Amino acid sequence: MAKSPKVKAPRFAEQARVILPGSEKAAAENAVHVKATPAAAQVTVSLIIRRKEQLKFDMRGGRNFGPVRLSRAEYKKHHSADPDALKLAKAFGKEFNLKVEDDPTSAIRRTVQLTGSAADIQKAFGVELNQKTIDGVEYRVREGGIHLPESLSGSVLAVLGLDNRPQAKPHIRFRRAKPETGLEPAAAAPASYTPPQVAQAYQWPSTATGAGETIGIIELGGGYRTADLDAYFKTLGLAAPSITAVSVDKGKNAPSNASGADGEVMLDIEVAASVAPGAKVVVYFTPNTDQGFTDAITTAVHDATNNPSVISISWGGPEANWTAQAMTALDAACQSAAALGVSITVAAGDNGSSDGLTGNNVDFPASSPHVLACGGTKLDANGSTLISEVVWNELANNDGATGGGVSNQFPQPTWQATANVPKPSGSTGGRGVPDVSGDADPNTGYTIRVDGETTVIGGTSAVAPLWAGLIAVANQQLGTKVGFIQPAIYAAKAASAFNDITEGNNPAFSAGPGWDACTGLGSPKASALIPLLAPSGITPGPAPTPTPAPVKKKKKKKAAKAAPVEKKASKKASGKKSGKKASSKKAGKKADKKASGKKADKKSFGKKSGKKVSGKKADKKKSGKKESKKSSGKKKKKK
């Protein structure tokens, strides 16, 4: 019996069109129409393709009925792009005269890039492209939904890059000398810390280096200058880190000026690399679009060459400003990271519970259930003694506040079931933000060097790389990647490993015992937390010793030279020298008490380093060697 001839599917151009779910994009606010996008203009889009097998939601990595942690080989075998869907997407592109970009990582990243003229792109995706100016800058804009041939339904999950409006903002806050004016030099700052000082306050292990680990950083603009990094790390008494720049979607390291995105880039690098000084840093530069953002994350997660074990993200925007398809695509990339044991830390936002809009909103990608959302506090510490810590909220002074609240997009994860997360404002959602926190108030900010200037910077942008550095250190200490840590940190036994923030608001939500929508579980007690992060099946070693306060050298220093703060502070902050004289059990509370007094203060290591020449600290230095010797037998009053 003769076989029936194979029925050929109709050409894509002849098929009925369906709207790609979640692709509807709202009209751009305050946009001024310029013209239709020129027909010959070249446009590149990224198509996100379905997986072979779905990753199970809410697991600590892994797949349905499979191991908790996947190897890259197993991930490629089971969870890369479905080959039939991949083939279909490429055939679709070719039919509409679109070039399929050559990319050896296309299947594992589940991404097909198509390039063609605006005229062909509009026909292929059933959209209209126009040029509009927003805040004086011209962008390519599309509005409404994306229309695909019905045979692509379910195979193509997102089409990114048709619109190149900025998708996110850096969550960074510069300290201002006066309202609405410029940057404040570190020397004039009433309170600031170097990143190693913040790490000491949070009980970083004395041997903390993160050696052998790589920290990935996603940047949607700006750049770094090697000369600035060399100068900065010299003041900290640390070797400059190994930095690699990776271009994604033609993004590049492009430093400009201190008040722009350079501040974000330098803050991220300098914080992460100084609290994990043995780790390498890889910066993924990409355009500030939903396409660039997602492509950068998939590139970093599947970068088998640089192999980052943790990725830091300090950019984001309110969930309401994203299309559902873009959030789904980016979240899926973060889920892949969790499956592969790659941690992702994300800033929770700097505009309080509103996230800069009306009502309560949370920031994405911090609201993804597959990332560690990082909120902000106002820190008062002296060496390894944490004096006080409250919610960062300076909205009254136009200096920002920590983001936090409840997602309207993502459901509550099982590991937050007992966290008493408030109900979402919408009919869907439930994921509480943030998970953890750290110093973010620019008034107790970080001493940072950017474009030849030393200044003080805050924002939850500082907290994401801080936690990324902590995770790099944990990976080194435990000898394995801790990966997706939420199930571990939300467990009841982890409560004692956090400084629970119970004072302040953001302002719709208030801090209280346990998890709250301002500071999450709290800021870390790193040495107590690290042993709890070991994945199941891994036996953690002994609890690491917290970094003790630095010991004062016999040689007297002049108290008059107060700036830049970090020059004196950080040579003792690196962990190598700071642990020599205070070891073992005395590196805990007893060492902390002694360190918080004369020793830490005289080296400007802990308590608000911008104040190091005032009050009792300055008086002691002025009194010379005799006073120093006498004071060694006394306990200085704690603040």
Cα–Cα distance measured from residue 90 to residue 98, given in angstroms and rounded to the nearest whole number? 9
Catalytic residue chosen out of the listed positions 249, 264, 270, 331: 264
Q: What are residue 49's DSSP bridge partners?
A: 156
Percent of the chain past pLDDT 70, that is, above it, reads: 78
Cβ neighbours around 187 below 10 Å, total = 16
3-state secondary structure of 592: helix
Residue type present at position 540: P
What's the confidence (pLDDT) of residue 539? 59
In a domain, 323, yes or no: yes
Q: Quick check: is 74 catalytic?
A: no
In a domain, 41, yes or no: yes
Whether residues 134 and 179 share a domain: the answer is no
In a domain, 583, yes or no: no
Render pLDDT for 392-439 as a digit per residue (tens, 0 to 9): 999 999 999 999 999 999 999 999 999 999 999 888 999 999 999 999
Alpha-carbon torsion, ordered 466, 467, 470, 474, to 10 deg? -160
Phi (first) and psi of residue 175, to 5 degrees: -70, 135
Whether residues 278 and 136 share a domain: the answer is no
* Cis amide bond preceding 564, omega within 30: yes
Catalytic residue chosen out of the listed positions 120, 219, 268, 601: 268
Place of tokens 């936690």: 467
In a domain, 499, yes or no: yes
For residue 305, count CB atoms less than 10 angstroms from its CB and return exposed for 0-12, middle for 13-18, buried for 19 or more. exposed
Q: Does residue 597 surpass a pLDDT of 90?
A: no
Closest Cα partner for 313 from 300, 329, 323?
300
Catalytic residue chosen out of the listed positions 106, 461, 574, 578: 461
Render pLDDT for 482-492 as a digit per residue (tens, 0 to 9): 999 999 999 99
Last residue of a domain, one of 139, 160, 181: 160
Cβ neighbours around 615 below 10 Å, total = 12
What's the confidence (pLDDT) of residue 545? 60
Whether residues 201 and 268 share a domain: the answer is yes
The residue-averaged pLDDT of 199-210 equals 94
Whether residues 120 and 251 share a domain: the answer is no
Query: What is the DSSP annotation of 408-440?
Result: EEEEPPGGGTTS-PPPPSSSS-EEEE-SEEEE-
Render pLDDT for 514-553 as a digit per residue (tens, 0 to 9): 999 999 999 999 999 999 999 876 555 555 566 554 433 3
Cα–Cα distance measured from residue 210 to residue 60, given in angstroms and rounded to the nearest whole number? 23
In a domain, 7, yes or no: no
Q: What is the CATH number of the domain that holds 393?
A: 3.40.50.200
Q: Does residue 598 surpass a pLDDT of 60?
A: no
What's the confidence (pLDDT) of residue 544? 57
What's the confidence (pLDDT) of residue 2? 53
Q: Quick check: is 384 catalytic?
A: no
Query: Which residue range is the domain that position 422 belongs to?
Result: 169-533
For residue 55 the two structure tokens come to: 């990753």
In a domain, 514, yes or no: yes
**Of 167-181, 326-340, 375-389, which gets the smallest average pLDDT?**
167-181
For residue 200 the two structure tokens come to: 């000491």
What's the confidence (pLDDT) of residue 486? 95
Closest Cα partner for 363 from 143, 166, 134, 169?
169
> How many domains in the chain?
2
Three state DSSP letters for 22-72: CCCECCCCCEEEEEECCCCCEEEEEEEECECCCCCCCCCCCCCCCCCCCCH
Place of tokens 């190149």: 164
Cα–Cα distance measured from residue 61 to residue 301, given in angstroms and rounded to the nearest whole number? 13
First to last CA, the chain: 94
Whether residues 152 and 223 share a domain: the answer is no
Cβ neighbours around 585 below 10 Å, total = 9
Whether residues 319 and 445 share a domain: the answer is yes
Kindly provide the b/e burial profile for residues 4-16, where b requires at least 16 CB atoms within 10 angstroms of the residue's own CB: eeeeeeeebeebe
Task: Give how far Cα 596 sits from Cα of 84, 353, 382, 418, Å.
Answer: 63, 34, 5, 36
Whether residues 173 and 154 share a domain: the answer is no
Last residue of a domain, one of 124, 139, 160: 160
What's the confidence (pLDDT) of residue 207? 84
Q: Quick check: is 350 catalytic?
A: no
Whether residues 382 and 505 share a domain: the answer is yes
Whether residues 193 and 142 share a domain: the answer is no
Measure CA 378 to chain center.
19
In a domain, 476, yes or no: yes
The residue-averaged pLDDT of 210-239 equals 97
Q: Between 6 and 58, where is the model more confident? A: 6
Whether residues 309 and 208 share a domain: the answer is yes
Residue type present at position 245: A
The residue-averaged pLDDT of 253-280 equals 94
The residue-averaged pLDDT of 561-576 equals 37
Last residue of a domain, one of 93, 127, 160: 160
Pairing of strands 156-160, 523-524: unpaired
Cα–Cα distance measured from residue 124 to residue 267, given in angstroms and rounded to the nearest whole number? 42
Q: Does residue 75 surpass a pLDDT of 90?
A: yes
- Asked whether 235 and 429 are in contact (CB, 8 A), the reply is no
Whether residues 461 and 518 share a domain: the answer is yes
Closest Cα partner for 527 from 517, 513, 542, 549?
542
Greatest CA span in the chain, whole angstroms? 109
Q: How many CA atoms lie within 13 A of 146 on its CB side?
A: 27
Task: Give how far Cα 233 sits from Cα of 213, 270, 299, 476, 481, Å.
Answer: 19, 8, 28, 21, 26
In a domain, 573, yes or no: no
The overall average pLDDT reported for the chain is 84
3-state secondary structure of 116: strand
Whether residues 143 and 228 share a domain: the answer is no
